[in-house]
Amino acid sequence: MEIALNFLMRRLATQYLRGSGISRARFRYSQQYPTRLFHASPVVQKVVPFMLADIGEGITQCQVVQWFVEPGSQVEQFDPICEVQSDKASVEITSRFGGVIKSLHYAVDDMAIVGKALVDIDVDDAISLDDAGSISQQPGSDKSEQLAKDDLTSMEESLQRQDTEQSQQVHPDTKEIPSASPEAALSTSRKGAAIATPAIRHLLRKLQLDIHDIIGTGKDGRVKKEDIDAYISSFGASEDSQRAAQPPHATMDSSHGDKVVNLTNTEKQMFAVMTESLSIPHFLYSNTIDTTNVEYTRKAIIDQKHLSPLFKTGATASRITMLPFVLKAISQAFNSYPRLNAHLDLKNNPAKPQLTMKASHNFGIAVDTPQGLLVPVVKDVQNHSVLSLAAEIGRLNSLAQVGKLALTDFKGATFTVSNIGSIGGGVVSPVIVGPQVAIVGLGRTRWVPGFHTNAAGEEIVVKKPELTLNWSADHRILDGATTARCAEFVRAFLENPATLSLLLR
């Protein structure tokens, strides 16, 4: 490559010297003692594909939420290109170079593939072949590099044939680079750059509204729920006036027809995961728990204001629900039944499955959000207190509701707790998500009549709170007896929470 470039530069210098009237002797001298030439890697075309990089946690595709650019937009390094959302979090993709956007490879709501081109960028400066390799590692890149080398070889041979043609003139090719006015560039850069949280975008898709039709009143033009409500109100008033002007017999038949909608990214992920879960034989077990003592303990903490110095982790007494007690009880039970806190490996060698008992108790908690069901992870439950668990659950729930969970908040779940009781219902059949081997669903705590022996030894009917725990276990790995014993272990802890304090370290 370097020899060919040096030859090309000598050839151009020769033609320049001939056109300048420099003597042949001086020319031969310059050839005999050539100036040291500049060394560089061969340059390639300025239009380069910008790839969607791996954003972690084994994610292979993401949904394009919005574009901040369009063909013809001028971008600088680190300018936002687009926002993509996986089943776990949304990420803003920024440009690695400055230049002009030539084309977009996906439309909004399309699924972008990790490792494939997002956009083509006409970069400001020519880049070397080595740099291009770090930008675009696509199938066939070796072939493209070989074609570039072949083209350079052909050019060298052509110049050698032209060496005998004394009348050869050099006419360098020129290319006019289109430019946009500052006003047009500003308009282009702002188009499509509406700002909103993933929860708001999910609401807009559900209502089939275009975010660019709504004027955002938040910071930097951010679209808020109040802006959507105002837009719908104004839109509804306009429709009412139009209907008033229509004849009485006018109807809108299209509003009564079927509607086809695309699955959201969260729904697509749920579709894939649940389809895979069909291969797991589920063993189901339910047990009911008298939570009188837990409720007494929880309310005592709420009522005793002098305990406020204990809430140093960010938890408040009003946020201490039944869930942190359940998580702590399950964690204690897993010390005796570690097979329920395990991962089943079927990928490395399906003929020889392996079970990995996990040292950390990382519990996924299902959270109902505007964008769908999310399962962030409470890590190292075995090292938490009930108070710190309450704080962590509150933090994850708050971030989930506004779509601000990070990818790290979804990593490493070893067991899942689904609190369907927060919505209603007592009995549920939870579905296991591999590689986990068990899951529990919490029903709604309800008041039921029960028997109680008073101080006189008489049995009386009293009102008591009752919670149903619904267990599912992978029956290929866990037998019914092991699952039932673990479930009853948890019941014993929750019916007498004082025993938890005996095991704390």
Report the relative pairing of strands 415-418 and 363-365 from DSSP bridges.
parallel
Q: Inform me whether the pLDDT recorded for 300 exceeds 90.
A: no
Check: pTM over 0.75? Answer yes or no: no
Q: How many CB atoms lie within 10 A of CB 334?
A: 25
Write down the residue that tokens 């059949």 correspond to. Answer: 429
Task: Read off the pLDDT of residues 127-160 as tens digits, 9 standing for 90 and up.
Answer: 544 444 445 444 444 444 444 444 444 444 444 4
Nearest to 91 by CA among 412, 408, 362, 413: 408
Task: Read off the pLDDT of residues 75-105 as tens digits, 9 standing for 90 and up.
Answer: 988 889 998 887 666 778 888 888 999 999 9
Instruction: Give pLDDT, residue 58.
Output: 60
Domains and CATH numbers, the chain: 1-40 (no CATH), 47-141+179-190 (2.40.50.100), 266-503 (3.30.559.10)
Nearest to 447 by CA among 318, 303, 317, 288: 288
87 given a catalytic annotation: no
Instruction: Give pLDDT, residue 498.
Output: 84
Q: From the CA atom positions of the chain, what is the Rg in Å? A: 34
* Burial annotation 273-293 (CB, 10 A radius, 16+ → b, else e): eeeebeebebbebbeebbbbe
Instruction: Give pLDDT, residue 478.
Output: 95
Instruction: Give pLDDT, residue 33.
Output: 45
Max distance between CA atoms of the chain, in angstroms, equals 128
Give the active site residue among 105, 282, 343, 475: 475
Average confidence score pLDDT of the chain: 76
Nearest to 322 by CA among 310, 312, 330: 330
Instruction: Give pLDDT, residue 9.
Output: 62
List the structure tokens of 316: 């408040």
Q: How confident is the model at residue 441 (pLDDT cuts 50, 70, 90)?
A: very high
Task: Read off the pLDDT of residues 169-219 as tens digits, 9 standing for 90 and up.
Answer: 444 444 443 444 444 333 333 444 567 776 777 777 777 787 878 888 887
166 or 237: which leads in pLDDT: 237
Amino acid residing at 467: L
380 given a catalytic annotation: no
Give the active site residue among 150, 213, 229, 479: 479
User: Which run of H or of E encompasses 214?
Assistant: none
